[in-house]
Structure 1
Amino acid sequence: MTDKNEMHQKRQQRLKEAVDERISKANEQRGILIVNTGNGKGKTTAAFGTLTRALGHNKKGGVVQFIKGLWENGEKNLLEPLGVEFHVMATGFTWETQDKASDTLACQEVWRKAKQMLANSQLDLVILDEITYMITYGYLDLEELLIALKNRPNHQTVIITGRACHRDIIELADTVTEMRPIKHAFDAGIKAQKGIDW
């Protein structure tokens, strides 16, 4: 038993030394660009988890939701009264609207709000929820988005969510997570649930 304990202790000590070395080399402090992409569920949920953590540390945040419709929004219900600025495109899913011209106008309108947030030094964290679709569908110019991201205040962190994130955004990002679906309740015929899925 003593040998096993000693081996475990040595392994953990090597792990500690490796982690400590990485921590000592990480000395740059600035806002980062985070991308949550992929076909799996949880991209927006992860972004809001980070925002909630930031609020717990007295940080200020803002949210722009592309794609989302006029239905009740649990995250907005909770976070807006806490001072989080929200702007929602409010047109709903593009496969339902099927009107590129009006969707483009709606995108451009909410994008103006997003640009203001990305230039606002009072905001520590900005979520651009489902913005990847705006690039994919051509509602928003990729270069304009990249410029706004590059020129934001140095301390500001931005989280981008959505499937099929453009490679130029991924290249610019500091942290990229790809969510991969393994199982989804909806595929088994279970309805999306208030408070769980939306």
Structure 2
Amino acid sequence: MEGRVEVYCGQGRGKTSCAIGQCVKAAGQEKQIIMVQFLKGKETEELSFFKRLEPEVQLFRFEKYERSYEELSDEEKKEQDHFIYNGLKYAHKVIDTRQCDVVVLDEVLGLLDLGLLKTEELVEMLENRSDDQLIIMTGRQIPDELIPYTDAVYCISTVKESQC
């Protein structure tokens, strides 16, 4: 597998689903995948699906609260920031130690938006990856200064969404 840095961003839905699709594809090629999710809360609908993909695909969340980050009080956010920091340290370690073939940093771009991560810190993570490691990042928007460090940026937008 050729190493790449891919980004799925935009205001539309499906960024995480695209990343999961890449995980399934890589697992079919007998690759090891680690997904680290940020800012999701403790949603459980995806978790049961991920359990079926183990051991090839491993999901890690560093969340304390059931609710998403935006719904937390200032005090809860401060506490959650500590968990997010631990998640970032773990992601850094996974990339530095070449622990797997594919690393998905789900909603990591949202950490940039919130000021919980600096673009330079993310660039450092990307520069430390091995040449054959695939890094996938998701979030609503990618800062212009991060684009040179990527191989592909896919923008997902909603053209129409009917109520179900």
In terms of mean alpha carbon deviation, does 105-114 or 91-100 score higher? 91-100
Larger relative contact order (Cα-Cα within 8 Å, sequence gap ≥ 6): 2
2:158 pairs with 1:181: yes
**CA distance in 2: counterparts of 1:77 and 1:121, whole angstroms:** 26
**CA distance in 2: counterparts of 1:111 and 1:121, whole angstroms:** 15
- Moved >6 Å (runs of 4+): none
What is residue 78 of structure 1 aligned with on the other side?
49
Between structures 1 and 2, the one with greater helix share: 1
One-letter amino acid of the structure 1 residue matched with residue 26 of structure 2: A
**CA distance in 1: counterparts of 2:86 and 2:98, whole angstroms:** 21
What is residue 94 of structure 2 aligned with on the other side?
117
2:66 pairs with 1:94: no
What is residue 48 of structure 1 aligned with on the other side?
20
> What's the % identity of the aligned pairs?
28
What is the total number of aligned residue pairs between the two structures?
A: 158
One-letter amino acid of the structure 2 residue matched with residue 58 of structure 1: E
One-letter amino acid of the structure 2 residue matched with residue 93 of structure 1: S
Q: Map 1:18-33 onto structure 2 (within 5 A).
A: 30-33=2-5
One-letter amino acid of the structure 1 residue matched with residue 159 of structure 2: I
Quote how far apart the aligned CAs of 1:181 are: 1.1
So what's the TM-score if we normalise by structure 2? 0.88
The CA deviation string for residues 90-126 of structure 1, in whole angstroms up to 9 with x for no partner, is 2442220142422321210111111111123241101
- Contact persistence 1:68–1:89 (CA under 8 A): no
Quote how far apart the aligned CAs of 1:171 are: 2.3
CA RMSD of aligned residues (A): 1.7
- Contact persistence 1:132–1:161 (CA under 8 A): yes
**Pick aligned residue for 2:32 from 43, 60, 68:** 60
Between structures 1 and 2, the one with greater strand share: 2
What is residue 196 of structure 1 aligned with on the other side?
none
* Structure 2 CA distance for partners of 1:73 and 1:110, relative to 1, 3 Å: farther
One-letter amino acid of the structure 2 residue matched with residue 118 of structure 1: I
Structure 2: gaps (5+ residues): none
**CA distance in 1: counterparts of 2:2 and 2:33, whole angstroms:** 16
**CA distance in 1: counterparts of 2:131 and 2:37, whole angstroms:** 23
Quote how far apart the aligned CAs of 1:130 are: 0.5
In terms of mean alpha carbon deviation, does 79-88 or 119-128 score higher? 79-88
One-letter amino acid of the structure 1 residue matched with residue 50 of structure 2: L
2:115 pairs with 1:138: yes
Quote how far apart the aligned CAs of 1:184 are: 2.2
**CA distance in 2: counterparts of 1:133 and 1:127, whole angstroms:** 14
